[in-house]
Structure 1
Amino acid sequence: MSDLSDAAKRLLLGRPVRSDRLGHTLIPKRIALPVFASDALSSVAYAPDEILLTLSLAGASALVISPWVGLAVAFVMLVVVASYRQNVHAYPSGGGDYEVATTNLGPTAGVTVASALLVDYVLTVAVSISSGAQYAATAFPPLRGHEAAFAVGLVILLTVANLRGVKESGTLFAIPVYMFMFAIGAVAIVGAIQFLTGNLAMAESAQLQLLPGSGLNEGVSGLAGFFLILRAFASGCAALTGVEAISNGVPAFKKPKSKNAATTLALLGGISVTMILSILLLARATHVTFADDPMTQLTRNGQPVEATYIQHPVISQISTAVFHDVPWMAVIVSIVTGLILILAANTAFNGFPVLGSILARDGFLPRQLHTRGDRLAFSNGIVTLALAAIALIIAFDAEVTRLIQLYIVGVFVSFTVSQFGMIKHWGRHLRTEADPAERARMMRSRVINTIGFIMTATVLVVVLITKFTHGAWIAILAMAIVFALMQSIHRHYAQVRAELALGADAASARALPSRVHAIVLVSHLHRPTMRALSYARASRPQILEALTVGVDPEDVEALRAQWEELAIPVPLRVLDSPFREITRPVLTYVRSIRRDSPRDLVVVYIPEYVVGHWWEQLLHNQSALRLKGRLLFTPGVVVASVPWQLASTEGQTGLEDPVRGTVPRGY
């Protein structure tokens, strides 16, 4: 069974990688772009949809301003990218926003940012995979109604791919990401040429009429319309998610790390802005009619659309119009769009484990998240992210519209706090820097970060105002829970560290016990018992005795007779147990020894069976497990397990067959 599981693990994850090969897992810019930017690039597939869906509540007239909303989103994107280019140069260690906030604003601010980012990474996976599942259901109708199960399967596939290592998964995912960029670029260029030459076809929904939602009959005029525009802007700002992942992933870049990360950020910003604006402009040019509730808002010739009407995503409608003479190109665009939505989750799979490792190193998350797996990836962090995302997908039934309302709150919390931290960073360094050229560079960077802080803080306020009642409160509550959890973990580690530290009593801690009182627990006289007695005698304690609990008088008499017959040179003590208990009499006796001689060390030897199958464990060692669990809480007591391997354990260690090349010749 062990060999089979090891073979399956090697097949899925590959051979283990030595620690000294960590440098070979670093990735160049051409791989870093699809690895870290897939989330932001994938927003092209749903950010324009969300802008149009929100504006559609005010009717067809509101859709006209969608490019202007997109332009505002693009401006914020460029400002944030410029700001984060300063971050990766100033803090290249991979801590990202968490390190910036902790260093400049204190641990509380750092944990606030970290909790926001952790929640946002989980939401990134849930939203991206759910959106990809929706695209897949559009392309393959049999998947309709099973989107959640399909999304869970996709998360599992991504998990396995990332457990193989960052470089290997990045190479695997690079091709679909570049195919998506090529496909959207082709749509934009061909669509622009057709528009300029007057040959651009209309979208499939152009013939439909869009009715405003209730209470918005006046369009985008008035206070309600203004808030609707703000809400559309907030939804479009989902395009900015993923920008912070590059600052967290700087250690994964090849040298020069900061320069390569900054270049990747610039490429990300330029490509994302171009794509989003192109899609929104083509949506207006092809008269895409997109509704938040198609059944009530869309009409055909004055009548509501038929119940079988399917509202295809914006990119699908545009690509079908642009490539109306080459339909297979539209199919390719839909396929690669679905792929990029799935692969967008890979950004979180690279950002979450690295951030989790840093938080674990600082004592805010369990230490296990700081260890690397066989392939030098942070395996525990990858699995934790996957489980959290799967839980969210199941809870929200993979519905993007419900999940998107929880989105981007966390990332703009981290954006805002990080930019404020960078302002403090430059201010602190300017107080000590004397070189005029360096001071000029720092002042320029501070101006960029100040603009970034103003923009991100404004967007955060807009998001909180417009999305709080639509589900954003759930994300805020999740951040508060994660924040409280990390603080409690940190307090626990600090308390344990204080208890274990050597203080004024260090000298007394080195003192030897007055005596060692060894006790060998005996149930029957067999080979495991004899081995435990031999080990106890070999340790040469000052006092050694065997201990059994008298549950059945006949069994006790038989044990005494066998003990005397074999002339075992260890006294046998029998504890009475009128209520047939085993654990309580042993604990009472051990504690009485400690009470009578507090400076004595009591060592309890427990013979245990080592079994090869899980079901055998259910049949053995239950009394031993209960005893060990209780004795561990008794001060001054050491529990020594004496193993006896049963025949079923043969071949279970995984070390019977030496790895080729590890055994010297001649052995």
Structure 2
Amino acid sequence: MFNVTGLLKRLVIGRAMRSEELGETLLPKRLALPIFASDPLSSVAYATQEILLVLTLGGLAYLHFTPWIALAVVLLMTVVVLSYRQVVHAYPSGGGSYEVASTNLGPSAGLVVAASLLVDYVMTVAVSVASGVDNIISALPSLAAHRVGLAVGFVALLTAMNLRGVRESGRAFATPTYLFIGGVLIMVGTGLFRYLLGDAPVAESAAYGIEPDPADAGLAGFALLMLVLRAFSSGCTALTGVEAISNGVPAFRKPKSVNAAKTMLAMGAIAITMFVGVTTLAMVAKVHIVEDPCRLTGLADCEAYTQRTVIAQLAASVFGGSDSFGFYFMQAATALILILAANTAYNGFPLLASILAQHRYLPRQLHNRGDRLAFSNGILALATVAAVLLWVYKANVTDLIHLYILGVFTSFTLSQLGMVRHWNRELHAETDPAVRRRHQVARSVNGLGACVTGLVLVIVLATKFTQGAWLAVLAALVLWVMMRGIRRHYDRTAAELTVTDPRRELAPPPRVFAIVLVSTIHKPTLRALAYARAFRPNHLEALTISVDREAADSLKRQWEEYGIEIPLKILDSPYREITRPVVEYVRSIRRESPRDVVGVFIPEYVVGHWWENLLHNQSALWLKSRLLFTPGVMVTSVPWQLTSSAHADHPAARAPGSVRRGEPTRNSETPR
């Protein structure tokens, strides 16, 4: 069973890598871009669509706000990219917004950032995969019934790829990312060139009118402002994942911060170009898209109508219909990049979780690297939560998007405030006028970033809170409280385990009282007795629990016949319990002699096949779990491996009953 599992693991994940090979996993810029920037690049596929979906709530009357909202998003992205380039240079050790906020604003602010980012990384996976599945369904509507299964399957595939290591996942994801960039640029260039020649592409939905939502018809004043702000906050999904490069600086080749900053600049330029191009082309082609197809006027049967995404409509209008090669190429590339956009989170989440675990805010297991030097536990945790979200929300992008981007702007705002304090500290210590001018410019950029992203955070909260964003806020709050609790636990444990008087801790106990648990006389029992005697305790006795008087008498006679010199103590158990009498007896010894140490030796045999576990109870495990909570009690397992266990974890057979010192036993029980 073990060999089959190990073989499957090697096929999926690959060979195990030595720790010394960590340097071989570092990334050049051409691979770092698709790994860390696939999320902001892919958001081009749905950011424009999210703006249009909100504006069309009021019908066609408000679509003229689209260019201005897009311009605001572009300016915001420019400020954020420039701000995070400075984070990369100032804090090249990784951790990004979390490290900036923790260092400059305090641990509590750092945990707010960390909790927000962890929630947002989960949402990145869920939204990206769901959006990718949407684009697949746009090309193949017959797959609509399998939406959730497809989404969860893609999460599993991404998980397997990332468990193989960062560098290998980068190689796998680089081609689709660059194909998507090339496809979008060709589509936008072709469409706008046709527009300049007087042959503007026309979207399939251009002929349909839009019936305003009754609640959003004829808006003016404050209500209109709120609608525009909602559209802007939805368009801000284009900024998700921008901070991932600042978290992943340690994964870059040297010089790390320089390469990371160049990659971030390239990401920003490409994302802005594509977003502006898609939005402009959508306006030229008169794309009309709504949440409910029945609000489109002119449809014969709105219930049966499958509405295509903005990218799908643009590709069909530019390349000559939904049966053209260009259309299918764009749909395939878009679906791939949207699904692979989750890879940004697959790199950001485990890295951030590892840093938090190192700082004792998350379980230490999240800091461990797997066979392929990836943070495997973090990858699996991310995949599990994202898959559950996709299942609960039925992989619906519109429902999931409301939980999105809140965490991003929380981290943006706090990190930029932290950078302002960082530059204030640097300016206080710096005397060189040229350096001071550079620091002042940097402070101005980060100050502007803090103001702008703070304003966007307020807008996002105001417009999305009641639509589902409250759940993301609650999740981040619960995570924040949990991380503080984990840190308190680790701090208490460290304080309790700190050595203050080595001589006192090394002093031997006055006496050792050894007990060997016995149910019958066989080889495991005799080995346990011999092993306990080898410790030369001050007092040694065997202990059995009598649930059957005749069996207990028979054991006592056999004990005397074998001439075993160790005294046998029999405890009656009228209610046929085993664990409680043993625990109570051990505790009674401790009460009589609190300074003595009680050693309990448990003979166990180990089975080798999974189905054999179903045939045996786990009384030894239950006994040990109870005894371990008793102070001054040392529990020792004395294993006896059966023949079947000789092949359970190693191809070379071992002699029956052979003992491997220092190895933990598994699936064991007290022999009866």
**What is the TM-score normalised by the length of structure 1?**
0.96
| 1:613 counterpart residue number | 609
1:596 aligns with 2:592: yes
User: CA offsets per residue over residues 423-449 of structure 1, 9 Å max, x none?
Assistant: 001101111112222222211111110
| 1:233 counterpart residue number | 232
| 1:299 counterpart residue number | 297
The 8 Å contact of residues 132 and 341 in structure 1, kept in 2 or not, is answered as yes
The 8 Å contact of residues 299 and 305 in structure 1, kept in 2 or not, is answered as no
- Provide structure 1 residue ranges, at least 5 long, that are not aligned to the other structure: 659-667
The 8 Å contact of residues 35 and 174 in structure 1, kept in 2 or not, is answered as yes
The 8 Å contact of residues 647 and 653 in structure 2, kept in 1 or not, is answered as no
- Higher mean alpha-carbon deviation, 286-295 vs 625-634, is at 286-295
The 8 Å contact of residues 135 and 312 in structure 2, kept in 1 or not, is answered as no
The 8 Å contact of residues 201 and 284 in structure 2, kept in 1 or not, is answered as no
The 8 Å contact of residues 130 and 393 in structure 1, kept in 2 or not, is answered as yes
Q: CA deviation at 1:292?
A: 3.0
1:353 aligns with 2:350: yes
1:35-114 superposed matches below 5 A: 35-114=35-114
AA matched with 1:93: S
Q: CA deviation at 1:496?
A: 1.1
User: CA offsets per residue over residues 314-351 of structure 1, 9 Å max, x none?
Assistant: 11111111111892111101110111110010000000
Partners of 2:181 and 2:653 in 1: how far apart?
A: 49
Q: Residue 144 of structure 1: SS of its match in structure 2? A: helix
1:371 aligns with 2:365: no
| 1:530 counterpart residue number | 526
| 1:570 counterpart residue number | 566
Q: CA deviation at 1:11?
A: 0.4
User: CA offsets per residue over residues 338-389 of structure 1, 9 Å max, x none?
Assistant: 1111001000000000000000011111110000000000000000000000
- State how many pairs are aligned: 653
The 8 Å contact of residues 201 and 324 in structure 1, kept in 2 or not, is answered as no
1:131-146 superposed matches below 5 A: 131-146=131-146
The 8 Å contact of residues 245 and 351 in structure 1, kept in 2 or not, is answered as yes
| 1:580 counterpart residue number | 576
Q: CA deviation at 1:575?
A: 1.6
Partners of 1:199 and 1:304 in 2: how far apart?
A: 28
Select which of 460, 463, 467 maps to 1:466. 463
The 8 Å contact of residues 609 and 621 in structure 1, kept in 2 or not, is answered as no
| 1:442 counterpart residue number | 439
AA matched with 1:158: L
Partners of 1:180 and 1:222 in 2: how far apart?
A: 40
Partners of 2:144 and 2:547 in 1: how far apart?
A: 63
| 1:15 counterpart residue number | 15
Q: CA deviation at 1:394?
A: 0.8
User: CA offsets per residue over residues 496-535 of structure 1, 9 Å max, x none?
Assistant: 11111123x5432221101111111100000100110111
| 1:255 counterpart residue number | 254
| 1:477 counterpart residue number | 474
Partners of 1:46 and 1:451 in 2: how far apart?
A: 27
Select which of 412, 434, 453 maps to 1:415. 412
AA matched with 1:295: C
- Higher mean alpha-carbon deviation, 585-594 vs 8-17, is at 585-594
Q: CA deviation at 1:550?
A: 1.8
Partners of 2:601 and 2:653 in 1: how far apart?
A: 32
Distance 1:535 1:394, change over 3 A: same
1:257-272 superposed matches below 5 A: 257-272=256-271
| 1:455 counterpart residue number | 452
AA matched with 2:386: A
Q: CA deviation at 1:152?
A: 0.4
Q: Residue 544 of structure 1: SS of its match in structure 2? A: strand
Q: CA deviation at 1:543?
A: 1.2
AA matched with 1:365: L
Partners of 2:300 and 2:588 in 1: how far apart?
A: 85
Partners of 2:71 and 2:582 in 1: how far apart?
A: 76
Partners of 1:44 and 1:402 in 2: how far apart?
A: 19
The 8 Å contact of residues 47 and 238 in structure 1, kept in 2 or not, is answered as yes
1:650-665 superposed matches below 5 A: 650-654=646-650, 656=652
AA matched with 2:593: S
Partners of 1:556 and 1:330 in 2: how far apart?
A: 82
Distance 1:287 1:578, change over 3 A: closer
The 8 Å contact of residues 609 and 620 in structure 1, kept in 2 or not, is answered as no
Partners of 1:288 and 1:590 in 2: how far apart?
A: 78
- Higher mean alpha-carbon deviation, 582-591 vs 597-606, is at 582-591
- Higher mean alpha-carbon deviation, 73-82 vs 140-149, is at 140-149
AA matched with 1:564: E
User: CA offsets per residue over residues 628-664 of structure 1, 9 Å max, x none?
Assistant: 1111111111000000111111211236399xxxxxx
| 1:661 counterpart residue number | none
User: CA offsets per residue over residues 208-257 of structure 1, 9 Å max, x none?
Assistant: 112222143325x4221111111100000000000011111111111111
The 8 Å contact of residues 163 and 372 in structure 2, kept in 1 or not, is answered as yes
Partners of 1:160 and 1:179 in 2: how far apart?
A: 22
Partners of 1:408 and 1:149 in 2: how far apart?
A: 25
The 8 Å contact of residues 163 and 375 in structure 1, kept in 2 or not, is answered as yes
Partners of 1:386 and 1:441 in 2: how far apart?
A: 42
AA matched with 2:40: A
Q: CA deviation at 1:622?
A: 2.2
The 8 Å contact of residues 70 and 279 in structure 2, kept in 1 or not, is answered as yes
AA matched with 1:276: F
Distance 1:410 1:363, change over 3 A: same
Partners of 1:111 and 1:188 in 2: how far apart?
A: 41
AA matched with 1:480: L
Partners of 1:250 and 1:603 in 2: how far apart?
A: 51
Distance 1:627 1:59, change over 3 A: same
Select which of 531, 537, 544 maps to 1:541. 537
AA matched with 2:578: I
The 8 Å contact of residues 238 and 408 in structure 1, kept in 2 or not, is answered as yes
Q: Residue 639 of structure 1: SS of its match in structure 2? A: strand
AA matched with 1:512: P
User: CA offsets per residue over residues 255-274 of structure 1, 9 Å max, x none?
Assistant: 11101111111111111111
Q: Residue 575 of structure 1: SS of its match in structure 2? A: strand
Q: Residue 635 of structure 1: SS of its match in structure 2? A: coil
Q: CA deviation at 1:291?
A: 2.0
The 8 Å contact of residues 138 and 312 in structure 2, kept in 1 or not, is answered as no
The 8 Å contact of residues 295 and 304 in structure 1, kept in 2 or not, is answered as no
Q: CA deviation at 1:620?
A: 3.0
- Higher mean alpha-carbon deviation, 649-658 vs 461-470, is at 649-658
AA matched with 2:608: G
The 8 Å contact of residues 357 and 371 in structure 1, kept in 2 or not, is answered as yes
Partners of 2:475 and 2:558 in 1: how far apart?
A: 64
**What is the TM-score normalised by the length of structure 2?**
0.95
- Higher mean alpha-carbon deviation, 193-202 vs 391-400, is at 193-202
Q: CA deviation at 1:305?
A: 5.6
Q: CA RMSD in A?
A: 1.5
1:646 aligns with 2:639: no
Percent sequence identity is 56
